[in-house]
Amino acid sequence: MYDKLAYIYDNLINEDVDYDKMVNWLDIKIKEKNISANSLLEIGCGTGNVSIPLSKLGYNVTGMDISDEMLSVADEKSFAEGSSVRWMKGDVCNFANTEKYHAAVSCLDTINYILGEEDLDNAFKNIYNSLEKGGVFIFDINTKYRLKDVYGNHSFNYVSDDLCYIWNCFYDSENDISEFEIDFFVKAEGTNNYERFDEVHVQKAYEIEKIKYMLLNAGFDSVDAYDFLSETLPTSRSEKVGMVAFCN
């Protein structure tokens, strides 16, 4: 997963995601909980679209991802932009890091890719153990409403001069699992030929209250939930929810 996608990821995602708004919201929420926060871990950092801007705000950022290809693109971008992010390969479900951070963030539904509750429990405990006292963990998740009702068993497509994809969604109601089968067609540089490659992505739909319970069980002292990038409470039709977990 993400092996070939890494090199076209930014072209796809930048049209749909307001990274400036996301980074600003994260910065506000971190400072609400810990005004002196400096060190920060991003889990599932991808190509660095959040880590690099956060480093420019003054945070000492470590970006962690499971994909070598994503980290390679992130490293190239940070070098070109003169940022000092430290990149690290790792899996949040089984990493043990002796370094402590004031804050941890995880963006764009990374948590939904953790399919088993035991793995998610391990991930939350690992994150809790990586935080300093007074640390904060901020992340977002796709809601069950989005995965089941918005994506459901529908198909989507995207077409541009250099890239197109066909995205087929399949929802397993018994296990609350969404599977995305995506066929990409990417124009080869300097030609009129297109290369095809396929990706399969799988996400788990978690209830918000279940996530809160698991965070508290992992050791966090309080958990707040917001409609994504807002100050309002989530509703039954919220498609994405931002969560802020704090440890005293």
177-229 pLDDT, tens per residue?
Answer: 999 999 999 888 888 899 999 999 999 999 999 999 999 999 999 999 999 99
Per-residue confidence band for 16, with pLDDT thresholds at 50, 70 and 90: confident
| pLDDT tens, position by position, 138-168 | 999 999 999 999 999 999 999 988 889 999 9
pLDDT of residue 6: 62
The pLDDT of 8-20, averaged and rounded, is 78
Q: Is the pLDDT of residue 3 over 60?
A: no
- Give the C-alpha separation, 223 to 233, whole Å: 13
Q: Can you say whether residue 202 is alpha, beta or left, with left for phi > 0 and alpha for psi between -120 and 50 degrees?
A: beta
> Domains in the chain, please, with CATH?
5-142+206-246 (3.40.50.150), 145-204 (2.20.25.110)
Which of 118, 102, 132, 105 lies closest to 46 in space, CA to CA? 105
Give the chain's mean pLDDT. 93
Percent of the chain topping pLDDT 70: 96
Q: Using alpha carbons, select from 17, 224, 240 the residue that is nearest to residue 136.
A: 224
Give the per-residue pLDDT at 135.
Answer: 95
Q: Any idea which residue has 């939350």 for tokens?
A: 124
Classified as helix, coil or strand, 71 is helix
Q: Which helix (H) or strand (E) holds 217?
A: helix 208-218
pLDDT of residue 98: 81
35 pLDDT band (50/70/90 cuts)? confident
| pLDDT for res 140 | 98
